[in-house]
Amino acid sequence: MSPVLRAFGLLMAGVLITVPLVADDHTGSGSWWWDDDWWEDGVMYSDVENHEVEIDRIEYQRDDIDIPAMVARPADGEAYPAILWAHGRRGLDDLAELHVKRLAARGFVVLAPDMYTGRFMESHPLDHDYELEGDLNRGLDVLLERDDIVGDRACLVSITRGGYKTLKVAVTFERQVADVACWAGYYPHLQDPNLGEPHQVYRYASEVNELEIPMMILIGDEEQYQRHRTARMAADGLESRGGEVHWIEYPGVGRGFDFRNGNNRTFADDLASRDAMIRVTRFANRHLRD
Walk along the chain (290 residues) in steps of 10 and give the mean pLDDT of each run.
41 39 53 77 77 96 93 97 93 92 96 91 82 94 97 96 94 96 95 83 88 95 87 93 93 86 84 92 92
14: in domain: no
Contact 218, 251 (CB under 8 A): no
Contact 285, 278 (CB under 8 A): no
119: in domain: yes
Question: Parallel, antiparallel, or unpaired for β 149-159 and 180-186?
Answer: parallel
86: in domain: yes
Contact 241, 208 (CB under 8 A): no
66: in domain: yes
Q: 72: closest CA among 82, 64, 62?
A: 82
7: in domain: no
In DSSP notation, 32-73 reads: TT--HHHHHH----TTS----EEEEEEEEEETTEEEEEEEEE
Q: What is the distance between the alpha carbons of residues 55 and 73, in angstroms, rounded to a whole number?
A: 7
CA distances 278 to 38, 103, 107, 117, 290, Å, are 13, 9, 11, 30, 17
Q: What is the distance between the alpha carbons of residues 28 and 69, in angstroms, rounded to a whole number?
A: 30
15: in domain: no
Question: Parallel, antiparallel, or unpaired for β 53-62 and 65-74?
Answer: antiparallel
Please give the tally of structural domains in the chain.
Answer: 1
For the four alpha carbons of 26, 90, 125 and 199, in that order, the dihedral sign comes to: negative
1: in domain: no
- How many other CB atoms sit within 10 Å of the CB of residue 85? 30
For residue 264, the 8-state DSSP code is G
Which pLDDT value is given to residue 26?
58
Domain of 226, in residue numbers: 35-288
180: in domain: yes
Q: What is the distance between the alpha carbons of residues 189 and 103, in angstroms, rounded to a whole number?
A: 20
Contact 82, 288 (CB under 8 A): yes
Contact 85, 100 (CB under 8 A): yes
- Beta pairing partners, 11: 16
Which alpha helices (DSSP H) does the chain contain, by range? 36-41, 94-104, 131-144, 162-171, 197-202, 225-240, 267-288
Which pLDDT value is given to residue 20?
37
What CATH number does the domain containing 252 carry? 3.40.50.1820
Which pLDDT value is given to residue 214?
97
Q: What is the distance between the alpha carbons of residues 134 and 246, in angstroms, rounded to a whole number?
A: 27
Angle at 83 between CA 77 and CA 145, to 5 degrees: 65
Contact 99, 135 (CB under 8 A): no
